[in-house]
């Protein structure tokens, strides 16, 4: 099918020339007017008809079964492209859902909200960062402030050995003390909050940092929908 291959290449080049001409025409400065999209739609239709006519012209010597098979392939490809374009938003949402299920804790941003799936142990473990350092948080509405473990605080630039542990707190393990700090930035997905009040736990007191109310109260809202946590900036 050398003739058909050359013809398809010619048709693609012709489409590029026509598209370039239309783009150049659109790029010309014009006075503000009421736009009528029938012209561009007609131009697209003309380009499509030219391409189809060129393909049929090149296949005029081909056998009927070959023509039907090639036409079916092109039509199927066109329908797939149209379907993908028409359902692009649901497909994007489905893709984010799949990623969230496969990687619990990954904060998936849909442009307006951040969604996290519940982890295998039943907690919402959220991948975020503190002052640029990666930190895994446990979503905890019972914590009045964001609390960093000593290891996470070290990665964020704090020295746990020089902090002032002067605020008493009650934990599941009993009474202990934490050191108050002010974090420059906490980021979770596309949500970034500046100057967040927090506390740092003593070394060995806390294994995983807590995403507490000093972060959550600065959001527009947050809610748990079965196995999904939704954060709205």
pLDDT in tens, 205-221: 999 999 999 999 999 99
The CATH number, out of the four listed (2.40.70.10, 2.160.20.60, 3.20.20.140, 3.40.50.20), of the domain defined by the range 103-232: 2.40.70.10
**Contact between 211 and 140 (Cβ < 8 Å):** yes
**Confidence (pTM):** 0.57
Name the residue among 200, 198, 87, 108 with its Cα closest to residue 152.
200
pLDDT of 144 reads 93
pLDDT of 31 reads 47
pLDDT of 89 reads 56
Across the chain, the runs of DSSP E, i.e. the strands, are 108-109, 114-117, 125-130, 133-139, 146-148, 167-171, 174-188, 191-201, 209-211, 221-225, 228-232
pLDDT of 58 reads 60
pLDDT of 122 reads 79
Alpha helices in 59-104 (DSSP H): 64-86, 88-102
pLDDT of 40 reads 56
User: Taking the mean position of all CA atoms in its chain, how far away is CA 119?
Assistant: 20
Mean pLDDT in each 10-residue stretch from start to end of the chain (233 residues)? Answer: 44 42 42 48 65 63 65 71 60 51 63 81 88 94 94 95 91 84 94 96 93 96 88 92
Calculate Rg over the CA atoms of the chain: 29
Q: How many angstroms separate the CA atoms of 224 and 169, rounded?
A: 26
User: Is the torsion defined by CA of 200, 205, 209, 212 positive or negative?
Assistant: negative
pLDDT of 150 reads 96
């Amino acid at each position: 099918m050398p003739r058909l291959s050359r013809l398809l290449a010619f048709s693609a080049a012709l489409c590029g020339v026509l598209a370039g001409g239309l783009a150049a025409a659109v790029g010309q400065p014009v006075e503000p007017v009421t736009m009528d999209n029938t012209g561009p739609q007609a131009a697209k239709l003309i380009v499509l008809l030219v391409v189809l006519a060129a393909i049929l012209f090149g296949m005029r010597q081909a056998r009927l079964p070959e023509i039907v098979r090639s036409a079916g392939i092109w039509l199927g490809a066109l329908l797939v492209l149209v379907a993908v374009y028409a359902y692009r938003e649901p497909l994007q949402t489905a893709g984010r859902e799949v990623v969230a299920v496969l990687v619990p804790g990954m904060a998936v941003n849909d442009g307006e909200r951040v969604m996290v799936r519940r982890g295998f142990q039943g907690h919402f473990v959220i991948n975020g960062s503190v002052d640029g350092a990666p930190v895994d948080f446990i979503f905890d509405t019972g914590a009045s402030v964001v609390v960093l473990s000593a290891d996470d605080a070290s990665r964020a630039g704090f020295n746990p050995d020089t902090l002032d542990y002067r605020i008493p707190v009650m934990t599941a393990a009993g009474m202990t003390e934490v050191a108050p700090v002010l974090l420059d930035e906490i980021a979770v997905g596309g949500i970034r909050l500046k100057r967040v009040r927090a506390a740092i736990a003593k070394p060995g007191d806390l294994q995983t940092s807590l995403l507490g109310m000093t972060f959550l109260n600065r959001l527009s809202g947050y809610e748990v929908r079965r196995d999904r946590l939704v954060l709205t900036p």
